[in-house]
Amino acid sequence: MGERIEVLPNDAVLFEYGPMRMFIQAYAQGKALIALANEGACKAKEVLEDLARFLPVIRKKSPGLKMGVGYPEVVRRMIEATQKMEEPDLTPLAAVAGAASDVVADFMILRGGTKIIVDNGGDIAIRLREGEIARVGIKTDVRAEQSSYLISVDEAARIGGVATSGLGGRSFTKGIASAVTVLSENASFSDAAATAIGNATNIEDHHIKRSLAESIYPDTDIAGEWVTVEVGELSHERVEEALDRGLAKADSICQKGLIKGALIAVRGRVVWTDSLNPWLMRL
């Protein structure tokens, strides 16, 4: 399993190890802290090794799991986040990328710096001290090269996680959203909620192609579940139905206080919870 740690021109540290590709940034009042970012990369390697050791646990359905005393922090965060969503078919792996980002970011912020950004494949942990601002681009298709929206948050916003899920992303989805982006106090909850909201955009239409998850990836953690493979042309009414279902799920999770808000995109149409208005702008 190859390991790569590289300082990029934008002062981010790129960490690659097995399936993980993480960009780590640390600043103190605008000054890049490369040594701290490198420490974060070393922590990320520990996190990945913890995940490998507990793979039999994190592949199980979350509702039936009990928190083990010896579980590492990343596993505990994954279980907590997915159980909070109260979805019967989620496994802790629905929050794996966000939880890994959170553990690395929390490790770093305790060691200095006023601004920490950990981007694990688009599931981002943000830690800000007073006076700092973070800006994150939001895509309306997980496969797009450019962002369509921008969020700008400060320490007072208490937003510590931004995560995106959708058709064509790294994980399976049961829905038809091209992107669902969620903001919350941590990346673990954002990641789990993005999966749940994305799944909620599920509708029935003969232009939607689905397959059993294990027929695409035999070692999947959601064997027996139908996942979306392709979405063809849909009527305006069908797109609106999918958006309404996703937005209803997002509002429900917001009302429970688990997330700050969500943006949902389906076939070029975009909606978001009213709670995002203070931070969201169109590019």
Greatest Cα-to-Cα distance within the chain, rounded to the nearest angstrom? 54
d(CA 141, CA 224): 27
Helix spans in the chain (H): 34-53, 55-58, 73-84, 96-109, 187-200, 213-216, 236-255
Helix spans in 85-186 (H): 96-109
pLDDT in tens, 124-143: 999 999 999 999 999 999 99
pLDDT in tens, 100-115: 999 999 999 999 999 9
CA 59 to chain centre: 18
Predicted pLDDT at 1: 55
Predicted pLDDT at 2: 75
Predicted pLDDT at 170: 84
pLDDT in tens, 153-208: 999 999 999 999 999 988 999 999 999 999 999 999 999 999 999 999 999 999 99
> Concatenated DSSP letters for 51-113?
HHHTHHHHTS-GGG----TT--HHHHHHHHHHHHTT-TT--GGGGHHHHHHHHHHHHHHTTS-
Domains and CATH numbers, the chain: 3-282 (3.10.520.10)
> What percent of the chain has a predicted confidence (pLDDT) above 70?
100
- For range 258-268, the mean pLDDT: 98
Predicted pLDDT at 234: 97
- For range 32-39, the mean pLDDT: 98
pLDDT in tens, 55-84: 999 999 999 999 988 999 999 999 999 999
- For range 247-252, the mean pLDDT: 98
